[in-house]
């Protein structure tokens, strides 16, 4: 029976990933700020699937949080077979007008915490010569994003980091996957102030459940880069053939509010 550690598991794609892994008979370590929500999910999944769920309430934008979670799993003698770095958030606005503290938290969560989680658990996986890691990036990773400059840059890091690490461990029995969803029906757009942007307004978006199912299959199949949705795949792939200044202009048009 495998154990998956999932960050940002209290809602959206992380919540759906937890349900999928539980439905396959796997145990879980769920991490998010809202421990009460995690505990509700724990009770639901344990009762429905007869598995074990361990919850950790932690603000993963704090610098030492990944080490603290790792130490807790070691203390509880929990072997993490699958690591799913799903936690992350974005923000909208011109860099000269946005709040630095929020951007610093975004960088800490989307980059620093994700990297340290990966480093800590991949070391154990290398010793066992088995394990899977999925880092949730975004189609935003494929181009700069004016008005979301920091967010897009952090997701670009996640994609590049994942592809490099996938190569490093390819002969060690471990697979690393970057899941790249496009706009998805979650609370992300509301939290990021993007409800009125061209990217979201009036669009029928994929469900978090559909994205999670796609990502979980990609992780299990050992795919390095998994872009959800045919049009997202086409658009992300076409970026490399377009002049960079045009890519930035198109991205600005998509992210601007109507």
Write out the catalytic residue numbers: 151, 155
For residue 67, what are its two tokens?
Answer: 């080490």
Comparing CA positions, the residue from 193, 175, 195 lying closest to residue 185 is 195
| d(C-alpha 158, C-alpha 44), whole Å | 32
Q: Which residues contact 7 (CB under 8 A, 6 or more apart)?
A: 14, 31, 32, 60, 84, 85, 86, 87, 113, 117
| d(C-alpha 175, C-alpha 219), whole Å | 8
**CA 129 to each of CA 26, 168, 173: distance values in angstroms, whole numbers, following the listed order:** 19, 13, 5
| d(C-alpha 79, C-alpha 29), whole Å | 10
Cβ count near 237 (within 10 Å): 11
Q: Which residues contact 251 (CB under 8 A, 6 or more apart)?
A: 143, 144, 145, 146, 152
Pairing type for strands 225-227 and 131-136 reads unpaired
Residues forming a β-bridge with 82: 4, 132
| d(C-alpha 89, C-alpha 151), whole Å | 8
| d(C-alpha 150, C-alpha 134), whole Å | 22
For residue 237, what are its two tokens?
Answer: 């792939």
């Amino acid at each position: 029976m495998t154990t998956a550690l999932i960050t940002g598991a209290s809602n959206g794609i992380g919540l759906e990933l937890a349900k999928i892994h539980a439905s396959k008979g796997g145990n879980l370590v769920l991490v998010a700020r809202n421990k009460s929500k995690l505990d509700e999910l724990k009770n639901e999944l344990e009762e429905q699937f007869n598995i074990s769920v361990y919850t950790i309430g932690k603000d993963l934008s704090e610098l030492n949080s990944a080490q603290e979670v790792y130490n807790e799993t070691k203390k509880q003698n929990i072997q993490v077979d699958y690591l799913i770095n799903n936690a992350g958030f974005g923000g909208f606005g011109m860099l000269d007008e946005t709040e630095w503290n929020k951007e610093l938290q975004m960088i800490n969560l989307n980059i620093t915490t994700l990297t340290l989680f990966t480093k800590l658990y991949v070391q154990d996986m290398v010793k066992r010569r088995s394990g899977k890691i999925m880092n949730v990036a975004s189609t935003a990773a494929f181009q700069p994003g004016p008005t979301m400059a920091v967010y897009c840059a952090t997701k670009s890091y996640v994609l590049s980091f994942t592809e490099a690490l996938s190569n490093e461990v390819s002969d060690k029995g471990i697979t690393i996957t970057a899941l790249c969803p496009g706009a998805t029906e979650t609370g992300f757009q509301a939290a990021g102030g993007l409800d009125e942007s061209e990217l979201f307004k009036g669009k029928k978006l994929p469900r978090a459940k559909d994205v999670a199912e796609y990502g979980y299959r990609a992780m299990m199949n050992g795919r390095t880069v998994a872009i959800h949705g045919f049009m997202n795949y086409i658009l992300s792939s076409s970026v490399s053939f377009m002049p960079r200044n045009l890519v930035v202009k198109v991205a600005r048009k998509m992210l601007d509010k109507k």
